[in-house]
Amino acid sequence: MTTEEIMELAMEMSELEVEPADSSIYVEGKNIKNVFFGIDIGVEELVWAKQQGFDLVIAHHPPSAALRYEDIYKRHATFMMQAGIPAEEAHQAVAEKLTDLHIQSKTENFTRVVGMAKLLNMPFMNIHVPIDEITRKTFQRVIDAMLPATVSDLVYEMNKIEPFPHSHVKVEAIMGDPEQRVDRLPVLIGAFTNGGYSIAKVWFDHGFPGLVYMHIAPGEFQKVKAEFPDRALVLTGHMPGDYVGALIFLKELKNKGINVVSVGFSELV
C-alpha cells in the first residue's frame, strides 16, 4: 500500500466525505509493509522507527496541533445542528474556543517533527478525525442499541469495547445519578477536544439528559456540575478512547497484509 491508499482507507472506514485539516501525509511512502503507530509521535519515535526498518510511521495526533484544530473544533457546532439545535446557538457556543485556538496556533513549533521526518526520509503521516470518528460511531452504536437505558448499564456495555477490558482507565459516569434512565446520550468525540462547559450547557439547555466526552478540565467540570447536577456526564478517558478507533483501523491494515506495531495496546492489534 501507499500512504495515500492508507489515508483513503481511513476515510472510507470513518465515512467522512472530506479529508479533515488535522490529518495529513507529511512524507509519502510506497510499498508499505511494516507500520509503526503511536498516538503521539515525536522525533525520538521517528529515529527509532527508521533504525528498526519500518516503512511508515503513523501518528494519531497531528505534530502541529494548534495549527490544524481550529476548523475541527467547529464539528461541535455541526453535532449540535444535526441534533436540531439552532445554528446561531451552535456557532455562538464554539466562538470563544475558536479564538483561543487561533491565538494558540501562533506558539506552535510546526517544523520540528515534520522537518525531522523529511531529513530522515521516513514516511510519516497522521490520522486524527477519521480515527476519532470511528471511535465516536462505535460508542454511539452501542449506546443507541440500548436506549432507553440507565447510565450505569450503558457504561457497563461501553467498558466491554476494546481496549477497555485491558485498560486501567475505564469509561465512567462522573456526574448525575448512574441509575438515571436516559433516552438520548450523544457522543461528542472527534471535534479536537471536549466541549467543556460552553458546549455542555447548550446541549443540557435543550433538554438532553446526558453527554459523552473523552475528558474535561476539572474547572470546566465543576461549572457543569454546579449548573446541571441532575444531568449525566460520561467520560471515556483519552488514551483508551483514542485506541477504540485506532485498534479497529490497525486491524484492518493487518487484514490487508501489513505488519503493524503499536506503542499502546500492542497485544490487541
Query: Mean pLDDT across the stretch 231-260?
Result: 98
Q: Is 211 exposed, middle or buried (0-12, 13-18, 19+ CB in 10 A)?
A: buried
Q: How confident is the model at residue 220 (pLDDT cuts 50, 70, 90)?
A: very high
Query: Mean pLDDT across the stretch 100-118?
Result: 87
Q: What CATH number has the domain spanning 133-240?
A: 3.40.1390
User: Which regions of 96-248 does DSSP assign to beta strands (E)?
Assistant: 124-126, 149-150, 172-175, 181-182, 210-213, 232-235
55 and 29 Cβ atoms separated by less than 8 Å: yes
168 and 197 Cβ atoms separated by less than 8 Å: no
The DSSP output letter for 187 is B
Closest CA to 203 of 56, 42, 26, 84: 84
pLDDT at 105 over 90: no
What is d(CA 236, CA 82) in angstroms, rounded to the nearest whole number? 22
Please report, for the chain, the start and end positions of each structural domain, with discontinuous segments joined by +: 133-240
pLDDT at 67 over 80: no
Write phi, then psi, for 125 (nearest 5 degrees). -150, 165
Which pTM does this prediction carry? Answer: 0.95
Strand, helix or coil at 259?
strand
Closest CA to 147 of 232, 49, 246: 232
Query: Mean pLDDT across the stretch 115-140?
Result: 97
Work out the mean pLDDT of the chain and round it to a whole number. Answer: 95
pLDDT at 65 over 60: no
